[in-house]
Amino acid sequence: MCRICQQEQKETGKRMLIRKLENRAEFIAGDGTILREMLRSEDVNNAIHYSFAHARLHPEQASVKHRLRANEVYYILAGKGIVQIDGERQEVGPGDCIYIPPLAIQHIENTGLGDLVFLCIVDPAWSKDDEEVI
């Protein structure tokens, strides 16, 4: 378990782990998406094998074409966009769940006026070494 998670659990005295979005550090992923990692396998002693992140793209922004060695799922919370997976394009919006198979060339673009906001699950957990920017 990571040091921060151990401290969080020590402070609460509970095994439950709750993270607030506003307390998670924001960074730019290799594909250009604004991410906040919410949960990784090592945060819970590898009891899970996936990573879970909150993602965002500003209007007129798009992620860079890339592929992962892992399965990936996006769940759109807000905004609208177009996702492209291995050349197939589809409009997406709130409530849409998108499965992206391993090694699929993919990107998502924001076609709306506000931020495109989505959740991202990667299984097995995301690793920089498992991502190739095209």
Res 4: pLDDT: 59
Q: Binning pLDDT at 50, 70 and 90, where does residue 41 land?
A: confident
Of 104, 106, 103, 77, whose CA–CA distance to 89 is shortest? 106
Q: Is residue 31 part of a domain?
A: yes
Residue 132: CB atoms within 10 A of its CB come to 13
Residue-number span of the structural domain to which 57 is assigned: 24-133
Q: In the chain, what are the helix, strand and coil shares in percent, each to the nearest 5? A: 15, 45, 45
Q: Tokens 């998406």 map to which residue?
A: 33
- Tell me what the mean pLDDT of segment 76-100 comes to: 98
User: For position 122, what pLDDT does the model report?
Assistant: 96
Residue 119 domain-assigned (yes or no)? yes
Put simply, whether the predicted model's pTM sits higher than 0.75 gets the answer: yes
Residue 9 covered by a domain: no
CA distance readout (Å), 77 to 99, 114, 118: 15, 12, 5
pLDDT digits (tens, 9 = 90+) for 57-70: 999 999 999 999 99
Q: What is the mean pLDDT of the chain?
A: 91
Instruction: Report how far residue 46's alpha carbon sits from residue 12's, in angstroms, rounded to the nearest whole number.
Output: 20
pLDDT band at 5 (very low <50, low <70, confident <90, very high): low
For residues 94-117, give the mean pLDDT.
Answer: 98
For 39, residues 6+ apart whose C-beta sits below 8 A from its C-beta are 17, 19, 48, 51, 52
CATH number at residue 102: 2.60.120.10
Q: pLDDT tens-digit profile of 95-106?
A: 999 999 999 999
| pLDDT at site 107 | 97
Structural domain total, the chain = 1
What pLDDT sits at residue 116? 98
102 within a domain of the structure (yes/no):
yes
